[in-house]
Chains A and B, each alone.
Chain A
Amino acid sequence: MSTPKGRLLAWLETRLNLTEIFSFLSNFGLAYGDIDTRKPLREAVDEAFRKPLPSYAQWPQVLGLLTFGLFLFQALTGVLLAFYYQPAPATAYDSVLTIVQEATLGWYIHQMHYWGSNILIALLLLRMVRLFLHEVYRAPRELVWVLGGLLVLLSVYAGISGSLLPWDQQAYWSTIRSLEVLAELPFFGWLADFLVGGLEVQGLTLTRFYILHVVLLPLSMFVLFYLHFAAVRRVGLSRSQEAAQLRPLYPDHLVDLATLLFLIFGVILTLAVLAPAAVQPEADPFSSPAGIHPPWYLLPAFGLIEVLPAGVGGGLISAGLLVFLALPFLDRTPGRRPLALVLLALVLAALVWLGYTGYTLRG
C-alpha cells in the first residue's frame, strides 16, 4: 500500500465506501453474486473476480450485457452531440450541419449514434427472441421478460423521438409517418396527440421530443436496465442454472466482454462509414418528399395499418403489444415447444412480410 495509487485508495477508502459503489456497479453485469460491502475494495474485487462464473452469464446469454454497453455508448455519443445541438426549429438544422461539417469527429459521432440506436433496438429485439426460445419467461422469471419487453418499447420510443431531432426532410416526414402509426393505436393513441403538442409537427414537438430523447427515456431505460439486471441476479437467466460453473469472472469473462464490445464498436463504425444516413434538406412542412417511411422497427405496424381497414390495424397492434408484454402470464404450461416455435416462426414471417408491405406502400 506504499505506492501513490495505494495511498490514494486508502485515503478514499476511509472517506467513501468504495466497495458499496463497486457493489452497485456490479448490478449492471460487472460482477456476479453477492458482494460483502464491509470488506475493503481490493479484497472485495479480488473475491468477485476469482469467483467462477454462473453458466447463465456465458454466450449467448451476454446479449443483455451487450445492449447495456451499447446503451452507455449511445449516452456518451448523445452527450457529445448535445454539446452542439440546439433544439429549436430555427436553429436545429444548422446546428446539425455544424456537427457533421465542422465539429471535430462530429460526423463520426453523429453517424455512430444513428447506427448505434438501430443496432441497440435490433439487439434488444433479438434478445427477446432468445428469451422466448430458452423459455426465460416462466415462473419465477416473468419480470425478466416484462422488463425486457418494456425496454424494447422504450428504445423504440427513443428511436422515434431521436429521428426527429436532425430536423431535415427525412426526420420531419418519417416522424409524421411514425405518428400516423401511433395515432392509430387504441390505449396508446393519445400519446401521439400529446407528443405533437398541436395540430402539426412544429416547434413544441421538437422541444418535447428532445426532452424525451435526452432525459426522460434514457433515465427510464437506465432504471429498467437496473431492475432487469436485479431480476436476473435474483432468478438467473437460464433454466439450467445448476449446470457446471466453468470459468472465473476475471480474466475470462471480462476479456470476452471487452472483445465483444470492441467488435461491436468496429461494426458500428463500419456501418457509419459505408452506409451513412444522408443529411437531407431542411424540414419543409409544405413539401412532402416521395419515398419516406417510418423507421424500420415501425414498418410492420405501418404495413398492417395500411393493409387493414381503419381502426382494425391499430387495435391488432395494441392487442399484440399487450400479449407480448403479458406472455409470461398467458403461457403458463411448460412443454408444447413445437407449437411455440411454429408460432414464433409465423409471427416473425408475418412481421417481415408486413414490414416489406409497409416499405413498398406509398413509396
Chain B
Amino acid sequence: MKTIAALLSLALLAAGAGAQNYCKSCHSEQEVEFRQSVHREELGCVSCHGGDASTAELPQAHGKGFRGRITRAQIPAFCAECHADREQMRPYGLPTDQYALYQTSGHGRKFAQGDAKVAICTDCHHSHRVLGRDDPQSPIHRQNVAATCGHCHADPARMAPYGLSPGVVADYEAGVHAQARRQGSAAHLPSCADCHGSHGTAPPGVGDVSKVCMHCHRQTREFFRQSPHFKTLAAQGHGECAACHDNHRIAKPGPQLWASACATCHGAGSEALRTAAQIQELLGQAQADIDRARATIETARQVPLGVEDYQQRLATASTYLMEAGPLSHTLDVAAIEELTRKSRSVAQELETEIGEKMEVFAGRKLVVGLVWLYLLITVLALQYFKRGSR
C-alpha cells in the first residue's frame, strides 16, 4: 500500500514538474501556430520571449527576463543568435551563413540603413509557424516561393518607393518554367530563389543572366559562345539569354521565336533575317513531321496495331529535334539541318511503315461487304426455299 502511495505521489510530482504552459491561456492563437512549427520540439515560448510559462499570474509570468514582442529591427540578429551558431546548428545539419548572406543582400543592406519595411526572416519563414522547406504548406516550399516573394514584389504600393516593377511575378508565372512547374512535370524547375538566391538575395546584373541560366542550360550556352551574337551582344552591353528569351516572362522556345525575336534587332530583308527564316523553317518542318507521325501512331494504336516500337522511334526523332534547339544558338544552318534531317527522316519513315500496315486493315470494310453479300444470298435462298416448299 505504501509503495503504491509513494509511486502515485511521484507520478503527481512528475506531472506537476512537467512543462505546464500557461502562456497559451491568453496567447492561444500563437500557441496553435507554434504547435505546427519545426521549433516545437526543442523550443518553447520563453526561449524567445523570456518570462515564466509555469504560472498564470501575470506579474510573475511577464516578470523576470521577459522580453515581450521582438521588434522587426531586432529580428534578424535575434534569429542569428542560434542560426549563426555552428555548435547549435550542427545537430540539424543547417548552414550558419544565412545571416551573413542576408547582410550582403539587397534586403539586408537596406535593413542596415534603417529601412524596416524590407523583408526579414519572419516575412518569408513566419514567426511562430516556421515550417520546413519540404513541407508543402511552407511559404519557402519550392512550389510556394513565387507567391511568397510576390507577397511584396507583386504589390505596386510596396514596390513604388524602390522603383521596382511589380509585374515581375506575373511575368514569371506566365513563363515556361512556372507553367511546367504548375503542371507538376518537374519539381526542380526554377523559381525566384534559384536565380536570385534566397538569403543573399540580389538581382543578377545584365552580364550575369547568361551564367544564371547556364546553371541548367550549360550546353546551350556553349553553343551560344560559338555564335556571332556572343561577342556583339557583350560589346553592346546587352544580356545574352534575356535579349531573345526575356528574363522573367520566358516564352516556350520553338520555331516561332525565330520570327519574333530576331526582327527586334535585324531589319527587314537583312541576311540575318533570311538565316533566321531558314532555321525557323528547318525546325518547323521537323516539328510538323513529328506531330504528324504522333497522330498517325495514335490512329494505329486504335486500330489496334502494336505501336511500342513506333513510339520509341518517335522519341528518337524528338530527341534529334530537341538537340537541334540548343544547337540553333550557333546559327550554324548546316549543322541544324543535319539534325532536323535525321529527325524528319525517322518521323517520315515510321509514318510510311504505319501507312503500309494500315492498308491491311482497310480490308476490313471489304470483309463487311463480302459477308453482307453472302448473308443476302443465303437469306434469299432460304426465303425461296420457304416459298417453294408450300
Please list the residues of chain A having a beta carbon within 8 angstroms of any beta carbon in chain B: 97, 100-101, 107, 251-252, 255-256, 258-259, 262-263, 265-266, 269-270, 273-274, 276, 278-279, 281
Contact = CB atoms under 8 A, between A and B. Distances in A.
B385 A251 contact: yes
Contact of B382 (A255, A266, A269, A279): A255
A273 B372 CA distance: 13
B386 A255 contact: yes
Given A262-B375, A279-B302, A279-B304, 16 more contacts: A97-B306, A100-B304, A101-B304, A101-B305, A251-B385, A251-B386, A259-B382, A265-B375, A269-B368, A270-B368, A270-B372, A273-B364, A273-B365, A273-B367, A274-B365, A279-B301
B372 A266 contact: yes
A107, A255, A263 pick with most chain B CB within 10 angstroms:
A255
Closest 10 interchain pairs by CB? A278-B302, A279-B304, A255-B386, A273-B364, A266-B375, A273-B368, A251-B386, A255-B382, A262-B375, A259-B379
A262 B373 CA distance: 12
Contacts of A251: 385-386, 389
A200 B302 CA distance: 27
A276 B365 CA distance: 12
Contacts of A278: 301-302, 304
Contacts of A274: 365, 368
A19 to B, nearest CB: 24
Contacts of B301: 278-279, 281
A258 B382 contact: yes
A263 B376 CA distance: 8
Interface of chain A: mostly helix, strand, loop or mixed: helix
Interface residues of B, number: 19
Contacts of A276: 302
A270 B372 CA distance: 9
B378 interface: yes
Contacts of A273: 364-365, 367-368
B371 A269 contact: yes
Contact of A266 (B302, B304, B371): B371
Interface in B352-390: 364-365, 367-368, 371-372, 375, 378-379, 382-383, 385-386, 389
Given A100-B304, A101-B304, A270-B368, A263 B375 contact: yes
Given A259-B382, A262-B378, A269-B368, A101 B306 contact: yes
A114 B110 CA distance: 72
Contacts of A266: 371-372, 375
A362 to B, nearest CB: 21
A269 B374 CA distance: 13
Contacts of A258: 382
A274 B371 CA distance: 14
B378 to A, nearest CB: 6
Most chain B CB atoms below 10 A, which of A97, A101, A107, A266: A266
Interface in B298-324: 301-302, 304-306
A97 B307 CA distance: 11
Of B305, B385, B386, the most chain A CB neighbours within 10 A belong to: B386
A274 B367 CA distance: 11
Contacts of B371: 266, 269
6 contacts: A97-B306, A101-B304, A265-B375, A273-B367, A274-B368, A279-B301
Tell me which of A97, A101, A251, A276 has the highest count of chain B C-beta atoms within 10 A of its own C-beta: A251
Nearest to B365: A273
Given A269-B368, A270-B368, A263 B379 contact: yes
A263 B382 CA distance: 13
B368 A255 contact: no
B184 to A, nearest CB: 12
Contacts of B379: 259, 262-263
A15 B112 CA distance: 112
A255 B385 contact: yes
A256 B367 CA distance: 25
B389 to A, nearest CB: 5
A255 B387 CA distance: 10
B194 to A, nearest CB: 28
A107 B363 CA distance: 13
Contacts of A262: 375, 378-379
A345 B288 CA distance: 52
A255 B367 contact: no
Contact of B383 (A259, A265, A281): A259
Nearest to B379: A259
Contacts of A107: 304
A46 to B, nearest CB: 14
Interface in B336-366: 364-365
